[in-house]
Amino acid sequence: VKELQVTEESQIDERRRATERLPHAASANQLHELAGQLHLAREEERKRLARELHDELGQALTAIRLEIAAALSKAPAQDTFFTKKLQSATAIVDSTIRAVRRIATELRPATLELGLIPAIEWQADEFRARTGITCELRLPSQDVVLDDDRLTATFRILQEALTNVTRHSGATKTEIVLEEHHDGLFLEVRDNGRGMTPNPVGKRSLGLLGMRERALFVGGELTIQSTPGAGTLVGARIPFL
């Protein structure tokens, strides 16, 4: 025991000396903290941008559309050039309104303000429509109560997992499961695709890392189970407090 204590003490000493030698080196905890803060800042920025795009730009475009409609109603019937120009301007404004909505939604879907379950349902619809991959949902019957950080973390993990399914899995089926347990909220995204092959050395997995950091920052964890040829399961535990 004595010996053990001694080695332990000398290890602590060694660590202290190492820390003193490197006063500016960040610890792993500090790096996790930094990653988390960056995600938070980015999320705030996305929220603000989405709102401004939707409100300011959206309103201005709608006003322009009304002005054009007013001019069009007064256009002389025989002036086809004038009428055609105003009609094409209306079409351009309409497609710009759609683009603004799409960009705002990509930044931060408005359904997130309604809660996690509506947001997951919306995301699953988007996913099915975009990829043609089936997506089954098993969700609690009542929406879960979560603070904004946990809500956002869970949703962004889901988005990254689905992006990976689209890009890498070749799956035909996916399933999203959300369950409430005493030790937290559990999100699972399962696909029946090709599974992960061990990472080639030097390849950075920033998506997987990002998911892990998001879970860690709210006190949870991320697990990945994958068998080559037999699909992938991404699981996140998000504790309630």
Distance separating alpha carbons of residues 193 and 227, to the nearest angstrom: 10
| Closest residue to ligand ADP in the complex (CB) | 207
Distance separating alpha carbons of residues 206 and 22, to the nearest angstrom: 27
| Edge-to-edge order in the sheet of strand 232-238 | 134-138, 173-181, 184-191, 232-238, 221-226
Q: Of 3-11, 52-60, 68-76, 200-208, which segment contacts Mg ion by CB under 5 A?
A: 200-208
Does position 206 bind ligand ADP by CB under 6 A? yes
Q: Of 18-26, 44-52, 72-80, 206-214, which segment contacts ligand ADP by CB under 6 A?
A: 206-214
Distance separating alpha carbons of residues 174 and 152, to the nearest angstrom: 21
Distance separating alpha carbons of residues 79 and 238, to the nearest angstrom: 64
Which token pair is 13?
A: 């000493």
Do residues 54 and 100 lie in contact, with contact meaning Cβ atoms separated by under 8 Å?
Answer: yes
Q: Spell out, one character per residue from 109 to 148, where the chain touches ligand ADP: x when CB under 6 A holds, - when not.
A: ----------------------------------------
Q: Of 2-10, 30-38, 95-103, 201-209, which segment contacts ligand ADP by CB under 6 A?
A: 201-209
Contact partner at residue 109 from Mg ion, ligand ADP, none, CB < 5 to 8 Å by partner kind: none
Residue (6 or 206) nearer to Mg ion, CB: 206
Contact partner at residue 205 from Mg ion, ligand ADP, none, CB < 5 to 8 Å by partner kind: ligand ADP
Does position 58 bind Mg ion by CB under 5 A? no
Contact partner at residue 232 from Mg ion, ligand ADP, none, CB < 5 to 8 Å by partner kind: ligand ADP
| Dihedral over Cα of 145, 151, 157, 163: its sign | positive
Coarse DSSP helix, strand, coil percentages of the chain, rounded to the nearest 5 percent: 60, 15, 25
- Shortest Å, Cβ 169 to ligand ADP: 4
What amino acid occupies position 70?
A
Rounded to 5°, angle at Cα 155 from 190 and 226: 25
Residues within window 150-189 making contact with ligand ADP, judged by CB under 6 A = 164-165, 167-169
Does position 200 bind ligand ADP by CB under 6 A? no
Contact partner at residue 191 from Mg ion, ligand ADP, none, CB < 5 to 8 Å by partner kind: ligand ADP
**Side-chain half-sphere of 31: how many Cα atoms within 13 Å?**
8
Distance separating alpha carbons of residues 128 and 121, to the nearest angstrom: 11
Residue (162 or 218) nearer to ligand ADP, CB: 162
Binding residues vs Mg ion (CB under 5 A): 164, 207
Binding residues vs ligand ADP (CB under 6 A): 164-165, 167-169, 191, 193-196, 205-208, 232
